[in-house]
C-alpha cells in the first residue's frame, strides 16, 4: 500500500474515532504468503543439512533412540532461545527454523523407535504436545503456522486411529472455523489466532482433499484405524460435516447481524444445505467451501484463494476416488450443479440487486 493510501486510510479511521494521533511510521510490510512458503521450504532444506551434520559428526547418536530424543529436545529448546533472543533478525529466524525442524525430526525418529513397543496413538499424542508447546513458546509467525499444522495433523491421526475417520473432516473444519470466526473478537491474541488458523486451514485441505485415504491405508495395514460402528457411524460422520457447514453459516449470519429469515440468510442457508448434502458422498466439498466463504467474510484473500484451490483440487481428486462409481459421482455432481444454479436464480428473487452501491 502506498504512503498516500496509508495516510488516507488512517484519516478515514481517525474521522470515525477509531484511531488517535499521528499516522504510525510505515513498518515492515507483512510478508506475503509466497515469501513465507519460500522461507519455510528453505528452512526445511537447511534442516536436512543440519541433520546431516549431526549424523556425520555424532554417528552414535543416530543409533540410539534416547540420545536422539535428548538431542532433539535440546535443539528445540535452542530454537526457542534463538527466536526469543533475536526476534527481529532474519538470519536468526531462519537459523531457528532450521534448528527447530532438525530437532523435531530427531524427536520423531526417537519416538518412532521408542514406540515400536507401543502404538501410533502414543506417538501422535507426544507429537501433538510437542507442537502445542512450540506453538506457544516460539514467537514467530511462520513457525507457529507450521506447529499448528503439525498438531492438527497429529489430532487427525488420533481420530483416524480411533476408527472415527468419517468425523475427521468435520472436526478439523469445525476447529478451523471457530478460530477464524472469532478473529476480530480476541484482537489481543490476533497473531496467535491467525497463525493457528492458517495451520488448521492447511490441515483441513490436506484432510479433506486427500480425505485421509493414504493415512487410513497405512494405519489399517498396521491393525489400527479400522472404521468403528459400521455404516451408521460413517453416515453420522458425514452428517457432522453438514452440521458444521450449516452451523458456520448461521454463526456468520449472526456475526454480520443478519436474520436467518432474511433474503441473505435464506440464500446462505440454502447454499450451505446444498453443499452439505453433496458432502455426504463427496466429503471434501464442505470443508473447501467453508474455507472459501470464511476467507471472503474476513477479507482474507489468501484464505479465499486456498478455498478455491481446495475445491478445484478436490474435484480432480474426486474423479479418481474409489468410494463410488463414476456414474454415481456424475449424478451427484449434476444434482449439486443444478441445485446451485437454481439457488442462484432464487437468490435473484429473494435478494434483488441494490440500485445504488453504497460503501461503509
Partner 1 sequence: MANPRDEILDWSEQGRIAPGRLRAALEAGGALPDANDWRRFLDRLLLWMGTVMLACSAIFFFAFNWAEMGRLAKIGLVEAPILGALFLLWRLGLERASGRAVLFAAALLTGGLLALIGQIYQTGADTWELFAVWAAAILPWTLAGRLAPLWVLWLALLNLAVSLYYLTFGFLWGFVFAPQRLMWMLFGLNTGALVAWEACAAAGLEWLRERWSARVVATASGTLITWLALTDVFDWRSSSHWGLPLWLGWMAAAYAAYRRWLKDVYVLAGGVLSAIVVIAALFGKSLSHSDAGGFLFMGLVIIGLSAAGGWWLKSVINEQDGGAA
- CB of 210: closest distance to partner 1 in angstroms? 19
Residues 113, 201: Cα–Cα separation, whole Å? 31
When the beta carbons of 41 and 235 are compared against partner 1, the nearer one is 41
Cell matching residue 107: 524427536
Q: Measured from the CB of residue 55, what is the shortest distance to partner 1 in angstroms?
A: 8
Residues 6 or more apart in contact with residue 5 via CB below 8 angstroms: none
Q: Diameter of the chain by CA atoms?
A: 75
Using CA atoms, how far apart are residues 118 and 104, in angstroms rounded to an integer? 20
CA 197-203-206 angle, 5° bins: 145
Q: What is the dihedral of CA 275, 279, 282, 288, to 10 degrees?
A: 70
Q: 336: which residues sit within 8 A by CB, 6+ positions away?
A: 274, 275, 277, 278, 282, 285
Burial level of 115, CB count in 10 A (0-12/13-18/19+)? middle
DSSP 29: P
User: Shortest gap between Cβ of 191 and partner 1 (angstroms)?
Assistant: 6
Least Å from the CB of residue 110 to partner 1: 20
Task: Closer to partner 1 by CB, 10 or 115: give it.
Answer: 10
The residues, ordered by sequence, that sit 6+ positions from 292 with a Cβ below 8 Å of its Cβ are 303, 304, 307, 308, 310, 311
**Cβ-based nearer residue to partner 1, 223 or 257:** 257
Which is closer to partner 1, CB of 3 or CB of 221?
A: 3
Give the shortest CB-39-to-partner 1 separation in angstroms. 5
Closer residue to partner 1 (CB): 229 or 342: 342
In the complex, the smallest distance separating the C-beta of residue 305 from partner 1, rounded to whole angstroms, is 8
In this complex, which beta carbon is closest to partner 1, that of residue 45 or of residue 228? 45
**CB of 147 or CB of 298, closer to partner 1:** 298
Sequence length of the chain is 360
Q: In angstroms, give the least distance from the CB of 108 to partner 1.
A: 19
In eight-state DSSP terms, residue 138 is: -
Amino acid at each position: 500500500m502506498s504512503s498516500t493510501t496509508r495516510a488516507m486510510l488512517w484519516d478515514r479511521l481517525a474521522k470515525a474515532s477509531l484511531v488517535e494521533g499521528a499516522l504510525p511510521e510505515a513498518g515492515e510490510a507483512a510478508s506475503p504468503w509466497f515469501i513465507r512458503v519460500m522461507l519455510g521450504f528453505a528452512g526445511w532444506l537447511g534442516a536436512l543439512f543440519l541433520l546431516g551434520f549431526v549424523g556425520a559428526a555424532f554417528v552414535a547418536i543416530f543409533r540410539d533412540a534416547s540420545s536422539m530424543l535428548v538431542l532433539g529436545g535440546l535443539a528445540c529448546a535452542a530454537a526457542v532461545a534463538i527466536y526469543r533472543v533475536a526476534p527481529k533478525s532474519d538470519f536468526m529466524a531462519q537459523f531457528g527454523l532450521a534448528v527447530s525442524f532438525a530437532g523435531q525430526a530427531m524427536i520423531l525418529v526417537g519416538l518412532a523407535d521408542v514406540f515400536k513397543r507401543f502404538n501410533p496413538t502414543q506417538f501422535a499424542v507426544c507429537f501433538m504436545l510437542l507442537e502445542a508447546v512450540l506453538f506457544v513458546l516460539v514467537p514467530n509467525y511462520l513457525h507457529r503456522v507450521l506447529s499448528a499444522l503439525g498438531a492438527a495433523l497429529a489430532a487427525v491421526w488420533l481420530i483416524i486411529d480411533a476408527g472415527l475417520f468419517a468425523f475427521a473432516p468435520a472436526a478439523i473444519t469445525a476447529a478451523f472455523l471457530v478460530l477464524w470466526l472469532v478473529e476480530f473478537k480476541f484482537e489481543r491474541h490476533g497473531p496467535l489466532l491467525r497463525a493457528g488458523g492458517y495451520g488448521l486451514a492447511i490441515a483441513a485441505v490436506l484432510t479433506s482433499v486427500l480425505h485421509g485415504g493414504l493415512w487410513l491405508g497405512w494405519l489399517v495395514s498396521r491393525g489400527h484405524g479400522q472404521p468403528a460402528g459400521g455404516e451408521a457411524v460413517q453416515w453420522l460422520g458425514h452428517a457432522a460435516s453438514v452440521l458444521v457447514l450449516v452451523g458456520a453459516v448461521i454463526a456468520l449470519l449472526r456475526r454480520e447481524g443478519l436474520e436467518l429469515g432474511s433474503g441473505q440468510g435464506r440464500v446462505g442457508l440454502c447454499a450451505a444445505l446444498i453443499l452439505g448434502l453433496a458432502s455426504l458422498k463427496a466429503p471434501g466439498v464442505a470443508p473447501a467451501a467453508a474455507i472459501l466463504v470464511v476467507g471472503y467474510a474476513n477479507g482474507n484473500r489468501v484464505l479465499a484463494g486456498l478455498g478455491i484451490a481446495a475445491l478445484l483440487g478436490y474435484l480432480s481428486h474426486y474423479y479418481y476416488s474409489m468410494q463410488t462409481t463414476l456414474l454415481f459421482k456424475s449424478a451427484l455432481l449434476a444434482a449439486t450443479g443444478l441445485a446451485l444454479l437454481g439457488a442462484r436464480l432464487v437468490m435473484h428473487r429473494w435478494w434483488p440487486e441494490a440500485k445504488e452501491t453504497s460503501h461503509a
